[in-house]
Structure 1
Amino acid sequence: MSVWKKAAKAHQKTHKERHQPEERQHLGLLEKKKDYVRRAKDFNDKKATLKLLRKRALNKNPDEFYHHMINSKTDNGVHFEKNTETEDTPEQVQLMKTQDLKYIVTKKTQEMKKIEKLQSHLQLASVDMNKTNKHIYFDKGKKLEAQRRTLKLLSEKELPEVDEHALQQSAKTRKCLYQELAKRIAREKELTITQQKIELSKAVENKKSVLPPKRIKKGTKDSAPIYIWKYERKR
């Protein structure tokens, strides 16, 4: 019977929906019943939610204590969290979501090689790594006179002219290299922290361990969290 109904409906006229009259075109599309039902349902849901929240606010005990009060505060009627510091930076979150551990280890190795290459070029010439000798030697009068003569000869001798432009260019190049070295060291440190966090999360999610580990320190942007696993006797 249903087959004959479908065959009969195939030749029926398709009725079009009523459109907005021309004098009411400025009001937009004509609202249909399904639109009204959806809008009324949304309005009633919001009304019920506001009523429930108002009831909870009236019945709330102002002297009630809960542990979230320690990390939250209300200032001039505005509620906000005291500790807003996140455990991961946006770059670390993106790396942990999009890349795997092998990629991070590879990039970290590349950064370490570039850091070693830059350090070998710079050799930290601007930093005095040697300890200065503060021992005082007392020379005799003849040695002092010879030193004075040597200094006088050196002062009278004409020194070659120094190219100031070349010195400025060399200082500028050295400054750029030091800035690049600092950026690469920070990048290598961030990759190291991300690697530690991924390895710890994989170790925590490992189902082979019967007893779950205990976290004794929460992770930060500059350090990974610290977990302790209870000792299990291996058979």
Structure 2
Amino acid sequence: MVSSLRKFAPRREHKERGQISSRKKLGFLEKHKDYVLRARDYNEKQRQLKRLRERASTRNPDEFYFNMERSQMQDSVHVEDRKQALPADIQKLMDTQDVTYVKMQRDINKKKIEKLQQELHIVEDDDSVRHTVFVDDKKMVKEFDAAKHFGTTEEFVERKHNRPREEDLETAEIVRPSENHLKRAVKVRETRLVELRDRLVRADQLQRAESEMLLRKALKEKGRKKKVGKDRLGLAVYKWKAERKK
């Protein structure tokens, strides 16, 4: 009975000391829990290396793979087939759909990206997008006051969206949002940012799929061509010789 009640009795908590001020220049003082995590990670990597060494030692050098027939060596560099170099999801899209469908999906995805950027007030820096104000002479250029011209304060002059006017700031009623409203707004913004990130990745994939489909279609047609380099995936880039059409 006493032994069963022993686990419910209060026990002294053993605390580890922190880094003393004279040794703070040496960095963070590792605690026991940090050592345990580091040791487990080290042991797991050692076990993985051991398994790889065993597989390498027992590997049959005469074993045959079908990929041996499809792969090639050019200038002592291993070159994969175009299908193998592309991601599986892009290859699946190219095998099941046509170029028109990919273009349509790319346009739809682009519109949704622009809508998300407007909701999140993400404006790309573009020198061509400017608000130009014309004046009569150089003296007016020196005396030009942008805040006075736009009817706003100095804090909102550089703003490209939702630039409030002074009369709106004087008459507007400032309501402090509640803590729950702020948390909900932060959560919604994080969700929108994740969606925007995924759609940007999808836009890159759709663009790559469309370019590859157009290139494969062009390779099947007649015309003199030659390889002029490689893209970021290591795929060959072709250039067609200009021919006069009759």
Classify the TM-score, shorter chain.
0.3 to 0.5
TM-score, length of structure 1 as denominator length:
0.46
TM-score, length of structure 2 as denominator length:
0.44
The higher radius of gyration belongs to: 1
